């Protein structure tokens, strides 16, 4: 066997040299060659390589403190040992011998500062077990001596290690180097001699151990002798046991007798328990039977109590309180008794509802008492509804008759009486709850009641409207308008004041009665229990400061074209149909008074239709509601009637204008033009709201005016332009102020202005051409020739020579003053509107100068050497005249 590397001095000196080369002066305690690998705790490790490694320890002293290291050195390429890694002994926490290595030479050293790292712990393999023990004992001694504790030892018998240390106490640590190839060295810094036993086990511990072991020394020599000894002792022990049993026979018999007596007692006890068990079972059955009967009695008692409660409740439903029965069967319907009647109705309604099959327990439905009581309640209901309906059918006409007999409720001569139904509605509201109960008890009874109310109230409203309308016509100070506007002498038909226009009477009628009709419609829908949205009292027509309080509900309304039934979308069609029938019966006939007032106003002043149309349109565009449908239809018909009447007036005016076409000759301004300005000014005063009606009238009248004017002008072709320019100028002059504020008239004003300019231009050109015909004919011929030849060739054409030019020029411009005066007299001739002549003469001079300037430009191209009167000279001549 090769000698241990621990005795290799050369290895130890090489390690010291390697440590010194790094600048450390540590003392080397032990140097040995080992093989290093990587392993895992509790698992077999694998060597990183098969070459041997050096493991050494070093101790470093600083003052009073000693530090111990385990250094790993390896050979460089030059065969010199170099430090590779340093481990601090103070961090050594575990020494584990790898169990999978049969030789026991491989172990792991665990350092606590390396446990948290992911690398596997280093694994060391010694050459033999002797080297392993020497190294590990050296490490443990250093830990014991310098650190005060030893690391945990796993996989190795500490006692065996102590025995080995004791046997090798005299052994001196030597260092031997092996002849294998390049290796790494590990140096342990401590004493050169190892005394392991004093470190592992003290002298006192060793003596105690020997004394303990001496107690178990049995002078065992050979195994066969010890076996014979054990056999003899076993036989002796068995004999002693048998003898002991023989001595206790009497005791056993006594025990058996006691057991027999005890078994007899047990059997008796068991028999008694069986008897008691049977009795208890019988008692349990009796108790259960008693409990069952008791439960049935309790259930029967509870059921009886519940039945009594139910019967009491049923009796409450079936009993009729005497005071209610008296009110329902024969009570009075006077206002003082209505509270009792309403309470009786409330009770009857609830009682009938409680006995309905859906509101009562099914087991009670077929009970004779319940069926009889239900029949009795129904009979009571029919009796009460019949009595109440008969009373109300008589009450409504009586209430209206009392109002009809009071003349103070109606307009009289010299006094307009505003209708006031507040007292009537107050009295009717006393029976509003009664009507609701009648409807809930028997809905069919509402039809005759509604008819009676509507028929009675219709008589009152028609008389009020008739008296009011008659008094309006009688008290009006408006007089009939003058003769038709477009006929008669020119000075007639001056616009009259409209302070007392008949439209004021119509406005009063609408202002008073339209809110009244809407209120009555709303009250009817509410009072007669129609299931539609009713109106709340508020302002009926927005924008009118004199309107009455009426409804603010606003819904979409589609009304028929004539007074009849209105269609209200979004409501129950059946309910609305009945409501519309009632509204028609309530308000039918009142339209005749409105029609009569409109016809009267039209006869007095046709232009009052403008104001009446504006008033009606304002009410139509105001808030609407379902219950006011008949009123909306009435307003639609009034608006249609007013539009038709005004259209008749416009048609008459157009017919009067057309009659001017039949005149043989018209000179000057046609009479209907200034009269139209008067009519327009008066129509503007009547506008009260929308302008549509007036603008349509303007369009129709002015259009026919211009058409007839063109036809009148064509009667005398020589005077066409004179007639047109005079009349168009008169139209502009008379409508100048209105055209600035009325867009429709402004359009026709501009149209007349264009026609006036065209007529002026034609007439002026005609006058100029008559007096300077040769001059401008020569210029026209030059223009025609210039289309086919150059200016230089024109003087060589027949009639275009310079001589011809001089003759033409002499004949045209000779006596220029007389010619211009003649042209002025020609303009003045046949002109009836003298105020137009100055402006027309200025236009004529300007047009002549423009034409003459054009003539001179042509002449300068054809006859550049000829001397002609210049434009400035011609302007001076015209200005001097």
CATH of the domain at 80: 2.30.29.90
Domain count across the chain: 2
The mean pLDDT value for 526-551 works out to 51
Instruction: Flag whether 762 is in a domain.
Output: yes
How does residue 644 score in pLDDT terms, banded at 50, 70 and 90?
Answer: very high
Q: In this structure, what are the phi and psi dihedrals at residue 321, rounded to the nearest 5 degrees?
A: -60, 135
Q: What is the DSSP code (8-state) at residue 173?
A: P
Average per-residue pLDDT for the chain: 77
CA distances for 566 relative to 533, 551, 577, 637, 639, angstroms: 15, 18, 9, 13, 17
H/E stretch holding 418 reads: none
Is the per-residue pLDDT at 577 higher than 50?
yes
In a domain, 218, yes or no: no
Q: Does any domain span residue 830?
A: yes
pLDDT tier at 640 (50, 70, 90 boundaries)?
very high
Digit-coded pLDDT (tens) for 599-623: 998 898 898 898 899 898 888 887 6
Which residue, among 172, 176, 168, 177, has the nearest Cα to 191 in the 3D structure?
A: 172
Chosen domain end from 168, 195, 219: 168
Residue 180 confidence (pLDDT) = 41
pLDDT surpasses 50 at 188: no
Cα–Cα distances in angstroms (integers) from residue 276 to residues 268, 284, 693, 809, in the given order: 12, 12, 121, 173
Dist. CA 512–CA 519, nearest whole Å: 11
Residue 365 within a domain: no
b (16+ CB within 10 A) / e for 140-169: bbbbeeeeeebbebbebeeeebbebbeebe
DSSP character string of 365-415: HT-HHHHHHHHHHHHHHHHHHHHHHHHHHHHHHHHHHHHHT-GGGS-BTTB
Q: Show which of 168, 186, 209 is a domain's final residue.
A: 168
Q: Report the SS3 class of residue 849.
A: helix
**Does residue 360 form part of some domain?**
no
- Residue 867 CA to its chain's centroid (Å): 90
Domain membership flag for residue 310? no
**Domain final residue pick, 119, 149, 168:** 168
Average pLDDT over residues 672-684: 88
User: Pairing state of beta strands 185-188 and 106-111?
Assistant: unpaired
Q: Is residue 531 part of a domain?
A: no
Pairing of strands 27-38, 122-125: antiparallel
Q: Does residue 808 belong to any structural domain of this protein?
A: yes
pLDDT reported for residue 8 = 75
pLDDT at 222 > cutoff 70: no
Q: How many residues does the chain have?
A: 881
Q: What is the dihedral of CA 40, 45, 48, 54, to 10 degrees?
A: 90
Distance of CA 26 to the CA centre of its chain: 88
List pLDDT tens digits, range 728-776: 988 988 888 998 999 999 999 999 999 988 988 888 888 888 888 888 8
- What residues make up the domain containing 733? 660-880
CA 526/CA 627 separation, integer angstroms: 10
pLDDT band at 59 (very low <50, low <70, confident <90, very high): very low
Confidence (pLDDT) at 58: 43
pLDDT of residue 280: 92
Distance of CA 737 to the CA centre of its chain: 54
Q: What is the pLDDT of residues 397-408, one digit of tens each?
A: 898 888 888 877
């Amino acid at each position: 066997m090769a000698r241990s590397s621990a005795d290799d001095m050369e290895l130890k000196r090489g390690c010291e040299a390697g440590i010194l080369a790094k600048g450390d002066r540590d003392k080397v305690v032990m140097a040995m060659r080992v093989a290093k690998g990587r392993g895992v705790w509790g698992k077999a490790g694998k060597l990183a390589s098969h070459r041997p490694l050096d493991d050494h320890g070093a101790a470093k002293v600083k003052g009073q403190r000693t530090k111990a290291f385990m250094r790993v050195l390896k050979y460089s390429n030059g065969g010199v040992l170099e430090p590779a890694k340093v481990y601090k002994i103070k961090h050594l926490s575990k020494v584990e011998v790898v169990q999978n290595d049969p030789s026991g030479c491989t172990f792991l050293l665990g350092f606590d500062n390396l446990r948290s790292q992911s690398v596997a712990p280093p694994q060391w393999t010694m050459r033999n077990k002797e080297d392993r023990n020497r190294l590990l004992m050296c490490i443990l001694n250093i830990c014991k001596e310098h650190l005060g504790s030893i690391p945990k030892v796993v996989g190795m018998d500490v006692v065996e290690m102590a025995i080995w240390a004791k046997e090798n106490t005299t052994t001196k640590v030597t260092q031997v180097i092996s002849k294998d190839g390049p290796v790494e060295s590990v140096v342990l810094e401590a004493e050169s001699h190892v005394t392991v036993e004093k470190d592992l086990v003290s002298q006192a511990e060793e003596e105690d151990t020997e004394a303990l072991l001496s107690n178990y020394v049995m002078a065992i020599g050979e195994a066969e002798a010890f076996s014979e000894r054990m056999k003899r002792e076993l036989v002796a022990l068995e004999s002693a046991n048998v003898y002991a049993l023989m001595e206790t026979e009497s005791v056993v018999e006594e025990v058996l007798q006691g057991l027999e007596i005890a078994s007899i007692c047990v059997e008796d006890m068991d028999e008694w328990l069986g008897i008691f068990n049977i009795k208890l079972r019988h008692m349990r059955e009796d108790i259960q039977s008693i409990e069952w009967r008791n439960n049935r009695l309790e259930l029967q008692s509870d059921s009886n109590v519940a039945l009594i409660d139910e019967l009491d409740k049923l009796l409450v439903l079936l009993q009729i309180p005497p005071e209610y029965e008296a009110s329902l069967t024969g009570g009075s319907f006077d206002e003082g008794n209505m509270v009792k009647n309403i309470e009786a109705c409330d009770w009857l309604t609830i009682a009938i509802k409680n006995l309905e099959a859906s509101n009562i327990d099914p087991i009670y439905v077929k009970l004779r008492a319940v069926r009889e009581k239900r029949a009795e309640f129904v009979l009571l209901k029919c009796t009460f509804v019949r009595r109440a309906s008969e009373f109300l059918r008589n009450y409504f006409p009586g209430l209206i008759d009392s109002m009809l007999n009071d003349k103070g409720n109606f307009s009289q001569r010299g006094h307009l009486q505003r209708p006031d139904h507040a007292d009537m509605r107050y009295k009717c509201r006393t029976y509003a709850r009664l009507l609701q109960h009648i409807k809930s008890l028997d809905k069919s009874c509402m039809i005759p009641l509604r008819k009676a109310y509507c028929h009675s109230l219709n008589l009152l409203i028609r008389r009020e409207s008739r008296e009011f309308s008659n008094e309006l016509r009688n008290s009006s100070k408006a007089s009939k308008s003058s003769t038709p506007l477009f006929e008669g002498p020119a000075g007639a038909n001056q616009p009259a004041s409209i302070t007392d226009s008949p439209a004021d009477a119509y406005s009063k009628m609408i202002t008073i009665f339209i809110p009244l009709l809407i209120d009555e419609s709303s009250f009817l829908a509410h009072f007669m229990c129609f299931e539609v949205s009713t109106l709340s009292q508020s302002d009926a027509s927005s924008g009118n400061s004199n309107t009455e309080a009426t409804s603010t509900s606003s819904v979409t309304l589609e009304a028929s074209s004539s007074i009849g039934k209105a269609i209200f979308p979004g409501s129950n069609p059946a309910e609305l149909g009945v409501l519309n029938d009632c509204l028609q019966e309530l308000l039918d006939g009142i339209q005749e008074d409105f029609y009569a007032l409109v016809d009267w106003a039209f006869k007095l002043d046709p232009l009052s239709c403008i104001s009446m149309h504006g008033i009606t349109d304002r009410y139509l565009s105001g808030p609407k509601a379902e219950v006011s449908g008949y009123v909306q239809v009435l307003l639609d018909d009034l608006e249609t009637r007013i539009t038709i009447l005004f259209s008749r007036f416009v048609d008459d005016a157009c017919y009067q204008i057309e009659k001017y076409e039949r005149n043989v000759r018209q000179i000057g301004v046609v009479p209907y033009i200034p009269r139209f300005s008067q009519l327009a000014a008066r129509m503007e005063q009547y506008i009260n709201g929308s302008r549509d009606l007036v603008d349509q009238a303007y369009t129709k009248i002015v259009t026919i005016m211009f058409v007839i004017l063109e036809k009148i002008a064509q009667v005398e072709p020589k005077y066409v332009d004179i007639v047109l320019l005079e009349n168009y100028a008169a139209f502009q002059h008379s409508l100048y102020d209105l055209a600035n504020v009325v867009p429709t008239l402004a359009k026709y004003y501009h149209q007349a202005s264009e026609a006036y300019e065209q007529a002026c231009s034609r007439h002026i050109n005609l006058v100029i051409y008559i007096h300077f015909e040769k001059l401008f004919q020569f210029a026209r011929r030059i223009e025609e020739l210039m289309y086919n030849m150059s200016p230089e060739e024109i003087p060589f054409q027949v009639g275009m020579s310079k001589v011809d030019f001089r003759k033409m020029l002499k004949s045209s411009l000779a006596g220029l003053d007389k010619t211009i005066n003649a042209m002025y007299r020609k303009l003045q001739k046949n002109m009836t509107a003298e105020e137009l002549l100055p402006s027309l003469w200025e236009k004529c001079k300007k047009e002549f100068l423009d034409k003459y300037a054009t003539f001179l430009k042509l002449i300068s191209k054809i006859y550049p050497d000829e001397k002609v009167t210049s434009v400035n000279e011609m302007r001076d001549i015209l200005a001097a005249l």
